[in-house]
Structure 1
Amino acid sequence: MQSILVHVYNDPGIESRLQIALDMARAYDAHLTFLQVVLRPVILPGDYSGIVAAQMMPVAQEQADELRRVIEARLEEEDVRWNWVQEADMTDDMLMSHAALNDLVLVGCAAPQQSSDAPSRLAGTLAIRGRSPVMVAPLHAKSFDPAKPALVAWNGSREASHALRASLSMLKHSSTVYLATVVGEEGPSREGLPAIDGAAYLSRHGISCEVVELPCHARHPAEVLLEAAMSREAGYIVLGAYGHARLFEMIFGGVTRRMLKDPPIPLVLAH
């Protein structure tokens, strides 16, 4: 992993993303690209000529420039390679565009202009429509240790397989890898690959793993996975992101959506 794209936005999770990005850059010897998208003001009802929106744009630009000055001054003191890109457009479009030449996209669990109580639609859009894995940072992470154990959620689906492959470079740094299947849930179809196939794939890449089955006991699979990750002191969870064609605005399947609401540790998503 040599290139990491970091979403810059002045939300409560910006410090968390900065800390995680710096720790990953040092551990993986990676280059950081900080992408700051200046959101265009929304045209309000009655502002048919767009005059109010036009007046708000310089304010938004000034706030963005101030945030950039603060973070750049801090980055100058850090021992990592980085660059800064500022764009004025739609956030998801710009992130997907720049993600094409990055190995990982780091975003927050609270998306711009969205309720903090809802799972990030931005993370879902990037994971499902993009081609790079997405790491969703918790709001209050203080650091990121790539050597900590990793828990990979496995249900035999193509999404789970893709997430496993996309996270290989990270898993190689983990002290322990758990390939975890929640049993007793509505699992994959009969055509789904068994966990032993995922373990064999990891083995061919020099990664040993422990295959574990987690009883559901009528609980939501997301709760089971989070509990398993925390009890094993995992540093992050790898998860397949699920899209629904008929209800794409929901972005996620049930497990992904539940885990994204307030993740205690980083989530690595791929579709």
Structure 2
Amino acid sequence: MSIRTILLHAAPDSGFGDRLSFAVALARQAGAHLKAVYTLYPAGVPRVGRALSIYVNELVHEAKEKEAGLKAQFETATEAAGVKGSWQTVEGEVTSALRDEVTFADVTVVSETPYGTVDDQLAATLPEHLALACNGPVVVVPTGKPVPARIGRVLVAWKPSREAGHAVRFALPVLTVADEVEVLTVEEGTPGIADSGARLAAYLTTHGVNAKHHHAAGGHASSIIANEAQKFGADLLVMGIYSRSRLAEMILGGVTASLLVDPPVPLFAAH
């Protein structure tokens, strides 16, 4: 399997430039087509009440005015990189629109968006909504941090769970072309977790991955993962997305919530 189609969330928030740069670099490295989806209806705003209707209409009007500039930025970036790209404008709401498109893409690129402008605040909950709701992997690109020109080193935050297993299998096309892959396990009382990490590294080598295993002593898992990502010089972090409740889609586990809010490097996630 290889990456052939990358889906990009196009919106006028402050993270667009960084996630565009990442998506273009990944498309160039993988030889993939980059598809941008631009939605006019804002996320998280209900369609009820006259006052809200007036507010939403104004946001839609602003979205239409901002589209041309973003599309030009997208076309300039893809052309400069020699990447094939396409732009699609959707009338619907961003989360549902992207969720519909994820099935027909190999990976979707979104941003961790800090609260700043109105556009930033409207986009802020998209990563966790999409990562938990869709049936494909999502890359969450941090805003304002260096964007790798190429994915050379990948850190896999591993525990023997269904979610982590899904993330690794989705990430195999990226892992096989990386220069180095480190499988990180953290001592947290899970029986056999270190052995499982070593077995995963060995399994990855059967796919031609240059993988090694590192086991860390106990502590706060999110801090250990973030520190190891910096120490290893990771260009990408791969991990499963966990929720505390299957009935409450948006109740995230502590490590998941922490790393989605402030990923140390681009985060390749799957539920």
Q: TM-score range by the shorter chain?
A: 0.7 to 0.9
Residue in structure 1 matched with residue 259 of structure 2 by the alignment: 259
Query: Closer, same or farther in 2 for the Cα pair 1:52/1:7, shift >3 Å?
Result: closer
The amino acid across from 1:25 in the alignment is A
Using the alignment, how far apart are the partners of 1:13 and 1:56 within structure 2?
Answer: 18
Residue in structure 2 matched with residue 268 of structure 1 by the alignment: 268
- The CA deviation at 1:144 is 2.0
Residue in structure 2 matched with residue 134 of structure 1 by the alignment: 138
Query: Closer, same or farther in 2 for the Cα pair 1:175/1:191, shift >3 Å?
Result: closer
Residue in structure 1 matched with residue 67 of structure 2 by the alignment: 64
Please show how residues 88-167 of structure 1 align to structure 2 within 5 Å. 88-110=91-113, 120-167=124-171
The amino acid across from 2:144 in the alignment is H
Query: Closer, same or farther in 2 for the Cα pair 1:235/1:221, shift >3 Å?
Result: same
Deviation string for 1:204-234 (max 9, x for gaps)? 2122311111112xx4200001101111111
Please show how residues 231-246 of structure 1 align to structure 2 within 5 Å. 231-243=231-243, 244-246=245-247
Query: Closer, same or farther in 2 for the Cα pair 1:237/1:46, shift >3 Å?
Result: closer
Using the alignment, how far apart are the partners of 2:80 and 2:177 within structure 1?
Answer: 26
Give the number of equivalent residue pairs.
265
Residue in structure 2 matched with residue 202 of structure 1 by the alignment: 204
SS in 2 for 1:89: strand
Using the alignment, how far apart are the partners of 2:56 and 2:124 within structure 1?
Answer: 25
- The CA deviation at 1:190 is 7.2
Residue in structure 2 matched with residue 247 of structure 1 by the alignment: 248
- The CA deviation at 1:248 is 2.4
TM-score w.r.t. the length of structure 2 is 0.86
> Of 41, 44, 55, which residue of structure 2 is paired with 1:39?
41
Contact residue 78 and residue 84 of structure 2 kept, 8 A? no
**Structure 2 unaligned residues grouped into runs of 5+:** none
- The CA deviation at 1:53 is 4.1
- The CA deviation at 1:164 is 0.8
- The CA deviation at 1:236 is 1.1
Query: Closer, same or farther in 2 for the Cα pair 1:54/1:247, shift >3 Å?
Result: closer
Using the alignment, how far apart are the partners of 1:44 and 1:104 within structure 2?
Answer: 30
Q: What is the identity percentage for the equivalent residue pairs of Structure 1 and Structure 2?
A: 28
Contact residue 12 and residue 66 of structure 2 kept, 8 A? no
**Structure 1 unaligned residues grouped into runs of 5+:** none
The amino acid across from 1:22 in the alignment is V
Is the counterpart of residue 21 in structure 1 residue 23 in structure 2? Answer: yes
The amino acid across from 2:109 in the alignment is L
My pick for the range that moved more, 252-261 or 137-146, is: 137-146
- The CA deviation at 1:22 is 1.5
The amino acid across from 1:83 in the alignment is S
Contact residue 159 and residue 197 of structure 2 kept, 8 A? yes
Contact residue 149 and residue 236 of structure 1 kept, 8 A? yes
Residue in structure 2 matched with residue 168 of structure 1 by the alignment: 172
The amino acid across from 2:248 in the alignment is L
Residue in structure 1 matched with residue 85 of structure 2 by the alignment: 82
Contact residue 2 and residue 29 of structure 1 kept, 8 A? yes
SS in 2 for 1:63: helix
SS in 2 for 1:194: helix
Using the alignment, how far apart are the partners of 1:31 and 1:228 within structure 2?
Answer: 32
Cα RMSD, aligned residues only = 3.0
My pick for the range that moved more, 20-29 or 197-206, is: 197-206
